[in-house]
Amino acid sequence: MRQRVTALNPVILRWARERSGLSLAAVAARFKKAPDTIADWESGAEAPTFRQLEQLAEHLYKRPLAIFFFPSPPDEEDPSNRFRTLPQSELEALDPDTRYAVREALAFQESIRELTGGSNAATALITRDIRPVPQEPVEELASRVRSYLGVSLEAQSSWRGSEDAFKQWRKSIETAGIFALKRSFKQRDVFGFCMYDDTFPIIIINNNASHSRQVFTVFHELAHLLYSISGITKQDMSYIDHLSGRSHEVEVLCNRFAGEFLVPSSSFPWADFRRTNLDDFVHSQAIHYNVSREVILRRLLDRRLVSQAIYLRKSDQWNLEYQRSRHGRAGGNYYATQAAYLGETFLRLAFTQYRLGKVSIEELASYLRIKARNVARIEDFVVRGE
């Protein structure tokens, strides 16, 4: 008979499950057990085997095994509390993988703090230098940010497609002191989020979204950071209509800012809209501005030139088309993917500290979330500037 781990703290079993956003039924299904069995583990009436505890820790709750033997749960902030403008119903709907991504982001912020000695190495920090002014038109805020980043509309339209556009925008905001990291989200309707910090603001982008959608996410989250809050970009933002007060105002402004920044009203050919087919017009302007078709359609929606129903129908259609285009696509080079996820700024910071002898190879591997034996393969991409 397999021995049960009776020395663990059942209180922490429940704490870890709730922090992961998993129900008793969801955990029970993974083990092909009745929910009452998991409840018994959490009450101390029964105990899991060591193998079952390992599966809970590594695969479901994403926690170190040792934590389940602590006398009490660690004094850890609930990361979801950072998203003050997100309704409780939306917080509860966050997938366990998304919750884990938020914990990862906080860990990345601490890693950056350790690697830099607590001082952002960027020569300028946009979240300190640019603050939204009360009653300031969103057009003026977008113009100030574009001037700060030093990217003209001419440069934007000259980029070689949406993938190149994302790389250029990522470089520009990282030069302005914001770390932009990527990961693959299991929750496909979450395009990304940001975690505000006075010194190390960070944006996490869902790599499963199209590059043009990733671009919009960057600037939607940049707006959150300019307002000194953490936020999330979702496919369905209809919850904004149910917000009130300052939360509603900020979320509306973040949406408007991203659209206005990427497609300024002053340059948009409004008069041409009625002269051609809607799909053709949206497609041509998306190519011109190196943005998604959804951004162009949103600009038309903001001017009430198309209905909300058309916007939602087209948006869902385009997102489905993109997901179908990705189905069955090969995963590519693992090390290239990891390098792309971490980004040049973070990688150069980590490898510089390693080459200066300030961190060991084991510490470097921990920062990069890889095994020490794989460090050299990631460094190749840093050296080649890829």
Listing DSSP states for 283-321 in one string gives HHHHHHHT--HHHHHHHHHHTTSS-HHHHHHHHHHHHHH
Residue 159's pLDDT is what? Answer: 96
Residue 328's pLDDT is what? Answer: 62
Burial 151-177 (b: 16+ CB within 10 A, else e): beeeebeebeebeebbbbbbbbbbebb
Name residue 136's amino acid.
E
Count of alpha carbons within 13 Å of 125, Cβ hemisphere only?
Answer: 16
Residue 380's pLDDT is what? Answer: 78
170-221: per-residue pLDDT in tens?
999 999 999 999 999 999 899 999 999 999 999 999 999 999 999 999 999 9
Residue 327's pLDDT is what? Answer: 67
Quote the CA–CA distance of 213 and 90 in Å, as a whole number: 21
Residue 300's pLDDT is what? Answer: 95
51-103: per-residue pLDDT in tens?
999 999 999 999 999 999 999 999 888 877 889 888 888 988 899 999 999 99
Q: What angle do CA 30, 35, 40 make, to 5 degrees?
A: 110
**pTM, rounded to two decimals:** 0.92
pLDDT band with cut points at 50, 70 and 90 for residue 150: very high
Residue 331's pLDDT is what? Answer: 61
- Residues of the chain with pLDDT > 70: what percent? 97
pLDDT band with cut points at 50, 70 and 90 for residue 152: very high
156-170: per-residue pLDDT in tens?
999 999 999 999 999
Residue 92's pLDDT is what? Answer: 87
**pLDDT above 80: residue 1:** no
- Residues of the chain with pLDDT > 90: what percent? 74
Cβ within 8 Å of residue 320, ≥6 positions away: none
Token digits for 367? 């920062």
Average predicted confidence (pLDDT) for the chain = 92
Residue 385's pLDDT is what? Answer: 59
Longest dimension (CA), the chain: 77
Residue 335's pLDDT is what? Answer: 85
Residue 195's pLDDT is what? Answer: 96
Judged by average pLDDT, the poorest of 283-292, 339-348, 373-382 is 373-382
270-327: per-residue pLDDT in tens?
988 888 899 999 999 999 999 999 999 999 998 999 998 999 899 889 888 887 887 6
Token digits for 51? 């193998």
